[in-house]
Amino acid sequence: MPPASCSTKIHVLPDDVVSRIAAGEVVERPAAVVKELLENSLDAGGLHITIDVRDGGLSLIRVTDDGEGISRADLPRAFDRHATSKLRSDRDLASVTTMGFRGEALPSIASVSHVLVTTATRQDTVGAQLTLVAGAASAIVDAPAVSGTRIEVSNLFFNQPARKKFLKTITTEFSHISHVVQLAGLAWPSVHFRLTHNGQEILNYPAVASDRDRILQVYRPAFLDRTVEVRGRIAGLSIRGVMVDPVHARSSRMPQELFVNRRPIRNATVFHAVMEGYGSFLPKGSHPTFVLFLDIEPDRLDVNVHPTKKEVRFAETESLHQLVRQSVRHALGGSERRAVLGLTPAGLSQTAPVFSPTAVGQTASLRDSHSAALISGRTQDSRVNTSDAAPLSGIVEGSQLVFAHEPTGAYQRAEKPDIVPFGQILRTYLVAQVGEELQVIDQHTAHERILFQRLWRGWQSRDIPSQPLLIPEPIELSVAHSALLLKRLDELEKLGLLIEPFGTTAVAICGVPVGLGKVDATALVQDLLDDLTEWDSVSSLEMKVQPVLASLACHGAVRAGRALALLEIQQLIHDWVQEGLIMTCPHGRRTAFRLSTDELAKLFGRVGWA
């Protein structure tokens, strides 16, 4: 046992060291100072907020607001640790409605910089000014009674050379600051934000009435043009915003902004739900971009989990995941249907209809109950509209284009548009009038999408029947590839794909899902190997299966260059319409190009003419 005197190794740190350690968590870089000051201005009800920055925030950060101000008596207290006007008790912490709640930001900032605060409340006839150096305050002096608060932070990290050394270039630090201002702008459209750098105006967002208008100010109009609207609600939780239309998805991940009760947040659950919502709609190698706002009852949220409040914890992650995923999926389906029906997008106005995820869930399960039939063609639905499907059977038989005989009634919607097929261009593109639009459709990608949707439903209901291939063709593989494939035979069988070993390292495809056309077995196996190589790195079963089904759909779809009869064209377009006119194939290529009546009228200068 060591002698008692050794216990003096442990001692309590001096206050200034404690402050700086705590500040290290809150104030990681100049942008963090801007974030905290902005949040204070917003909590104070500021409607005009100006942020002036010099040298990436290292020389100066000045935030001026017209909020409620700080009374002279409260002013020194604002810089005391754990001093706040926003919380009173532990109970308040369970349902925080303000951006701030810990009473840590101002003391943290002040401990690593020089601060000058000038403030006045609306009742004050004389304002107050306080200077602090490394947290040490001078006496309060009088200032003009301009209601609101101005906080100037200069010489940031002057007493923390190590922290200063780790900062990036002025340009990088400033870009973090402007991102912080953009985020605040997106979350608070009714507030006017202005940002200057070294005297030059960089951002200016006058107050606007809607999220959509603010998104327009923050991003170029081209961004909004490429998005679809997301909207959904369940009890105590709602989502709204915009996300990229898959046709326009690119490799860029910007923006991917999520706000929870106006806080910019990173959250793996929501991100995962967005990805699952997109599912196969998203081209390989491209990423979703979005600006999404979640509103949730404050008592279902723990905001006190991250030093810079970049994360929150949700009480019910499952319902959140479901809402986000279904809202995203609904938005993807809705955008195409709206367009063909000639309806204008609702916009992000207050009056836009609220989507009920329950309703969508019901639709999905109704579809699922038919899924086996959609693949195998066994069910005869009493609501089948045979007038569309009947003439095709004779044509399809014996042709390469073997469609699953599908009960169209399963999808029937009141708004089903009429289809008038005109023919084929270059044996690749189908031309038709669909509803009131002219559609030019890529026969391969559209058919690929149809097959994929059917396979997907079949997989979800655990029923993808196979059709045997008459002459299985052996395919020679490397040892590693044949081992990779043979390891997955059972899983592939569940996807309707029957593969058998053939000698030591060769395999043969003996069966493919019903409904696929003539398949090039060697090319299919090559793609399957690519898909299977990625299986070990993917955790979700859906994410594993989708690429395989996409490969099957691709190889089973009618190729470009094949002549189609008018009835086949009619059937293909009909099936594509029934699947919801999805504008991408599962690999993300475009399925169609359309011109609305409005666009045609504009093209021919008919607007305003009889």
Ligand X SMILES: Nc1ncnc2c1ncn2[C@@H]1O[C@H](COP(=O)(O)OP(=O)(O)OP(=O)(O)O)[C@@H](O)[C@H]1O
Q: What residues make contact with ligand X under the rule CB under 6 A?
A: 36, 40-41, 44, 65, 67-70, 78, 84-86, 100-106, 149
Q: Is the previous residue joined to 2 through a cis bond, with omega within 30 degrees of 0?
A: no
Nearer to Mg ion, 29 or 481 (CB): 29
If DSSP codes are grouped into helix, strand and coil, which group holds residue 494? helix
Partner interacting with residue 239 (select from Mg ion, ligand X, none; CB below 5-8 Å by kind): none
Contact between 264 and 258 under an 8 Å Cβ cutoff? The reply is yes
Please state the closest distance from residue 97 (CB atom) to Mg ion, in A.
Answer: 14
Residue with the shortest CB distance to Mg ion: 100
Partner interacting with residue 547 (select from ligand X, Mg ion, none; CB below 5-8 Å by kind): none
Other Cβ atoms less than 10 A from the Cβ of 514: the count is 19
Nearer to ligand X, 84 or 439 (CB): 84
For the chain, count helices (H), then strands (E). 21, 24
Q: Which residues would be at the binding site for Mg ion (CB under 5 A)? A: 40, 100, 105
Contact between 480 and 529 under an 8 Å Cβ cutoff? The reply is no
The CA distance from 258 to 302, in Å, is: 16
Distances (CA, A) of 501 to 57, 312, 384, 393, 525: 66, 51, 42, 36, 13
- Angle, helices 357-369/317-340, rounded to nearest 10 degrees: 80
Tokens linked to 331: 């938005």
Please state the closest distance from residue 140 (CB atom) to ligand X, in A.
Answer: 14
Nearer to ligand X, 111 or 322 (CB): 111
Lookup result for tokens 């020679």: 476
- Bridge partner list, 64: 50, 150
Nearer to ligand X, 36 or 336 (CB): 36
End-to-end CA distance of the chain: 102
Contact between 333 and 580 under an 8 Å Cβ cutoff? The reply is yes
Partner interacting with residue 336 (select from Mg ion, ligand X, none; CB below 5-8 Å by kind): none
Please state the closest distance from residue 142 (CB atom) to ligand X, in A.
Answer: 18
Nearer to ligand X, 40 or 578 (CB): 40
Nearer to Mg ion, 100 or 127 (CB): 100
Nearer to Mg ion, 40 or 160 (CB): 40
Nearer to ligand X, 149 or 322 (CB): 149
Please state the closest distance from residue 99 (CB atom) to ligand X, in A.
Answer: 7
- In three state form, how does the secondary structure of 386-414 look? HHHHCCHHHHHCCCCCCCCCCCHHHCCCC
Lookup result for tokens 């999220």: 211
Please state the closest distance from residue 193 (CB atom) to ligand X, in A.
Answer: 14
Cβ neighbours for 275, distance < 8 A, ≥ 6 positions apart: 282, 288
Please state the closest distance from residue 38 (CB atom) to Mg ion, in A.
Answer: 9
Nearer to Mg ion, 100 or 435 (CB): 100
Please state the closest distance from residue 96 (CB atom) to ligand X, in A.
Answer: 9
The CA distance from 241 to 355, in Å, is: 13
Partner interacting with residue 227 (select from ligand X, Mg ion, none; CB below 5-8 Å by kind): none
Cβ neighbours for 396, distance < 8 A, ≥ 6 positions apart: 402, 403, 568, 571
Look up residue 493 and give its DSSP letter. Answer: H
Burial class of 406 by CB neighbour count within 10 A (0 to 12, 13 to 18, 19+): buried
Please state the closest distance from residue 43 (CB atom) to ligand X, in A.
Answer: 6
Nearer to Mg ion, 85 or 155 (CB): 85
Please state the closest distance from residue 25 (CB atom) to ligand X, in A.
Answer: 11
The CA distance from 259 to 562, in Å, is: 49
Partner interacting with residue 557 (select from Mg ion, ligand X, none; CB below 5-8 Å by kind): none
Burial class of 62 by CB neighbour count within 10 A (0 to 12, 13 to 18, 19+): middle
Cα 430 → chain centroid: 32
The CA distance from 61 to 57, in Å, is: 5
Residue with the shortest CB distance to ligand X: 100
Please state the closest distance from residue 150 (CB atom) to ligand X, in A.
Answer: 8
Please state the closest distance from residue 283 (CB atom) to ligand X, in A.
Answer: 41
Nearer to ligand X, 36 or 568 (CB): 36
Partner interacting with residue 149 (select from ligand X, Mg ion, none; CB below 5-8 Å by kind): ligand X
